[in-house]
Amino acid sequence: MVANLWATSRLLVNYPEPYRSQILDYLFKPNFGASLHILKVEIGGDGQTTDGTEPSHMHYALDENYFRGYEWWLMKEAKKRNPNITLIGLPWSFPGWLGKGFDWPYVNLQLTAYYVVTWIVGAKRYHDLDIDYIGIWNERSYNANYIKILRKMLNSQGLQRVKIIASDNLWESISAAMLLDAELFKVVDVIGAHYPGTHSVRDARLTGKKLWSSEDFSTLNSDTGAGCWGRILNQNYVNGYMTSTIAWNLVASYYEQLPYGRCGLMTAQEPWSGHYVVESPVWVSAHTTQFTQPGWYYLKTVGHLEKGGSYVALTDGLGNLTIIIETMSHKHSKCIRPFLPYFNVSQQFATFVLKGSFSEIPELQVWYTKLGKTSERFLFKQLDSLWLLDSNGSFTLKLQEDELFTLTTLTTGRKGSYLPPPKSQRFPSTYKDDFNVDYPFFSEAPNFADQTGVFEYFTNMEDPGEHHFTLRQVLNQRPITWAADASNTISIIGDYNWTNLTIKCDVYIETPDTGGVFIAGRVNKGGILIRSARGIFFWIFANGSYRVTGDLAGWIIYALGHVEVTAKKWYTLTLTIKGRFASGMLNDKSLWTDIPVNFPKNGWAAIGTHSFEFAQFDNFHVEATR
């Protein structure tokens, strides 16, 4: 069981205390909230992975840095709360140098294996984190020889205990390949499939390996999302023999208008206000996670209920027993994918009989959730215990639609709570960042969400003056992509509903002749859709030209001209957008005015570069009037 993220916790690190710690407690603290057993993280590869890019520990061939991004911090926070949590790493994209000119991580198998193993070794050396499982390439091709080389390299580094999960895609190909290839069979420890719809395939079951739904859910965290989650947590085992289900994503800590907004177990997308919401999927998780642990095993008596719904039973082998029952209706438990064939659930009475050593159990604790109408809604409520002494281990429950029951011998269950967090607020309409941080705790500036490229705090040794501390775009080649990254780099910030605004920023092109940078407003798309982002983009180039475009790709040209601009020199760009018109200034002198802009009507502010090139930004300032 449960937890997962990538490029989805971007805003979480910026939360002020105590709210940041409270959010982490709701996710990871045992017997408090979601009490997650597993944390699966992206091995940052510098590429777009749904809602943003995550930095690699090796941007370039001779570069190693184990303090970039937020995944290290997140794993440590999870371990701090639950030292037994299982850690999994999985690459989505890879830095470009591994591909030697190709958009493919299997050009040099040794090199890619070396890159992944350095991440595991670095996790231990710099953060004392033991990675338990490693994946291959998220939802993309696997290479059988690569998997074998990875296993050998892990062993040569004394990492025999790190297990391999493959292939984080469909069941079919990897299962069939394992049955035909004895060495591959030996080196793959877990078969992981994504969005299996609660079913596995015969070949996967024939391997006798552990089967996991290694990515699932990704559904809006409403009560319907909670219903989806409750249903698949049970039925992934009942129908498909999967002993672990991992939710994408852990916490919705990214701008909501990015793809798959609010598809996390809880919502924490306002670090500027401290507001967060403990959504119902957290309490659905608790029904399983608080009353089982890795190492517990399912009993043979699991199945479907006569009038819809399912039940599972697990034990620790030491006399403890947990039974989880769900009656999620079709209407209120549709996941985002795959298609869910119709089924019916209606009121019923279900009788359970405890046999063998379980017949001696005197009492079961009862935890209850009812999703749906506010008047009848309960989330993870403890009911009166069931006393079984006089009933020969038999009990009957009345079950209605959209309910969850956990019956357990464990008395440690708890519905944790804190005082309500601050009220929701819009992103501040005046926002400034001069990036003057001597020893930054995180490599990235708060609230900037990189959508192509990687923007990091930078200490400019050549400039002891005003631009000593800057924000720098640090990729000099396109990564091996997972999604359709843009051809330009871009980082977004602010309120998607911003309409009228002035953006001002100092910029520094590092590449002579061909280099270029931009500032932008009303940027209307991000994540996997970033290539097609529209907005108002104000560019200057080292060849002495400027442009105003209506899109990131630069197809829609509003204006262009010559201007005295060169590389290796600081300039101040100002972009003002008001109603249907935009104007731009260079070094506080008007450069172009009143260009008509009819679309889009609103969007984020942004900074970026013309290509994968080094460039710096400083004294970023937005004034928005909504």
Q: How far apart are CA 386 and CA 456, in angstroms?
A: 57
Place of tokens 């091995």: 43
Whether 64 sits among the annotated catalytic residues: the reply is no
Place of tokens 């989880």: 324
Between the alpha carbon of residue 588 and those of residues 105, 284, 616, the distances in Å are 46, 55, 19
Backbone angles phi, psi at 173, to 5 degrees: -60, -50
Q: How far apart are CA 136 and CA 88, in angstroms?
A: 11
Strand, helix or coil at 223? helix
Strand, helix or coil at 626? coil
**From 64, 139, 466, 623, the catalytic residue:** 139
Bridge partner residues of 561 (DSSP): 546
| Helix residue ranges, H only, 84-201 | 109-127, 144-156, 172-180, 182-187
Strand, helix or coil at 596? strand
Indicate the pairing of strand 363-370 with strand 378-387.
antiparallel
Contact 531, 512 (CB under 8 A): no
What residues contact residue 58 under an 8 Å CB cut-off, 6+ apart?
64, 65, 95, 97, 115, 118
Q: How far apart are CA 193 and CA 249, in angstroms?
A: 16
Whether 215 sits among the annotated catalytic residues: the reply is yes
Q: How far apart are CA 615 and CA 17, in angstroms?
A: 33
**From 54, 71, 215, 456, the catalytic residue:** 215
Q: How far apart are CA 165 and CA 18, in angstroms?
A: 36
Q: How far apart are CA 26 and CA 32, in angstroms?
A: 6
Q: Which tokens is 94 given?
A: 């890879």
What residues contact residue 251 under an 8 Å CB cut-off, 6+ apart?
5, 8, 9, 12, 23, 27, 264, 265, 266, 267, 268
Active site residues: 139, 215
